[in-house]
Amino acid sequence: MIIDKLLNRGKELLYDNDQSKVEKERFNAILETARHQFEKCNFYRKFCRQKNFNPQEDIKSLEDIDKIPYLTTANFKRKSGRPKDLLCVPENEILAWTMSSGTSGDPSLVGRDKTNLDRFFKMFEFVLGEICSLKDYNWSLFFQPKPQKVLARDEKVAHPQNHMGYIFNVANKLPMEKRYYALKFADEESRKKGKLFEFDEQTTFGFLKANPAEKGIGWIGGAIPLIYGTLKGYFEKTGQGFNVGENTVFVSGGGWKSFSGEAVSPVQFREDMTKILGIPQQQILDVYSFTETDCVHAECEYHNKHLLPWQDIVVRDVETLEPVEIGEKGLNNVINPIAYSYAGVSILQDDIVRIVMEDDCPCGRKGKVIEVLGRAEGAEARGCGAQLEQETDVE
């Protein structure tokens, strides 16, 4: 398919000065994916027909992508949604089901087959190498539970996996002995109270105190609240920082919305991590994504979140759900031509974003840059949620 050719030419497309040519190629990839999902997914085909939409007839140019009917994260909910009905391939071809880590008690569930996983990890390796400048590394420290084993992308997993944990496991090129994990299984008493994991202070601080800079370049990752709470708390208590090496790259997995109490700003977070770990701020990068898509928006060294050359976005007004102009804020409608095994070409979720620039980032990378402003809240969120539930119901 066209998307596979674009994935192989990512760097060329990212810096191409003729972005009109890139836009045409992106449009063709999106159109082909929309047609594939319309043909292969009975649920999505019915949904499109309810909207009087046919991708064979109703998409003529890139300006028409906002017409592609969007599903929402609610459609993927394990209990209240219909994740298996969203498959575009036979269920026995699914290699991995991954779950969101939301606290609602009803996580999203997405199934990916070999084609989808191959595309996803090619995309993710591109993000690490070309956006985050992390092509080679000698060790990793993830603020996640230690997996039972290293997983391969073509390996079928028996049970649903936490999405971020699965991605970080498979994408990591290192053998297990060079991987360090900051979480361990909680003791039996804690598990009875519903706490599955706890911070592994001995492993984490033992590794950080052992001067990991001597081991070479590292990759530190995980959710922001856990990283910030543990490292900042230790630093304030002891006054001791660490030397992880000035070439180590900190690629976080988001989690800004999960802070209990007063949240920390990205600027303050970077300043504190530089002070505690000794990493330059331009190498402390945030990544924004969610389980129901194959799109990852990663920060460059200027802390701008870039869309990748093959993906697009429609920002929709919170009340009307109509597209808004560049610079205006609204709901995030991700256009994802990588999706193959599930109907994910157009997904709307409840994060508020805006497009802040296009082709003008000082890093030299082309394409759109977005700012993530947070989640729709209060009456805004309730009204939006009710409307979305009605809009995405299939009769």
pLDDT confidence bin for 189, thresholds 50/70/90:
confident
List the CATH number of the domain containing 123.
3.40.50.12780
Mean pLDDT score, 186-195? 79
| pLDDT score of 379 | 38
Q: How far apart are CA 296 and CA 134, in angstroms?
A: 15
| pLDDT score of 385 | 44
pLDDT confidence bin for 188, thresholds 50/70/90:
confident
**Burial class of 245 by CB neighbour count within 10 A (0 to 12, 13 to 18, 19+):** buried
Q: What is the pLDDT of residues 163-183, one digit of tens each?
A: 988 998 999 999 999 999 999
Angle among Cα 118, 313, 360 to the nearest 5 degrees reads 100
Domain count, the chain: 1
| pLDDT score of 262 | 60
| pLDDT score of 257 | 59
Kindly report the average pLDDT of the chain as a whole number.
91
What pTM value is reported for the model? 0.90
Give the domain range for residue 222. Answer: 2-391
Look at residue 383 and tell me whether its pLDDT is greater than 60. no
Q: What is the pLDDT of residues 69-111, one digit of tens each?
A: 999 999 999 998 999 999 999 999 999 999 987 656 788 999 9
Q: What is the pLDDT of residues 310-363, one digit of tens each?
A: 999 999 999 999 999 999 999 999 999 999 999 999 999 989 999 999 999 999
Q: What is the pLDDT of residues 10-19, one digit of tens each?
A: 999 999 999 9
pLDDT over 90, % of the chain: 77
The CA–CA distances, whole Å, from 147 to 63, 183, 352 equal 44, 10, 33
What backbone phi and psi angles, to 5 degrees, belong to 139?
-155, 165
Q: What is the pLDDT of residues 263-310, one digit of tens each?
A: 778 899 999 999 999 999 999 999 999 999 999 999 999 999 999 999
Look at residue 130 and tell me whether its pLDDT is greater than 90. yes
| pLDDT score of 108 | 92
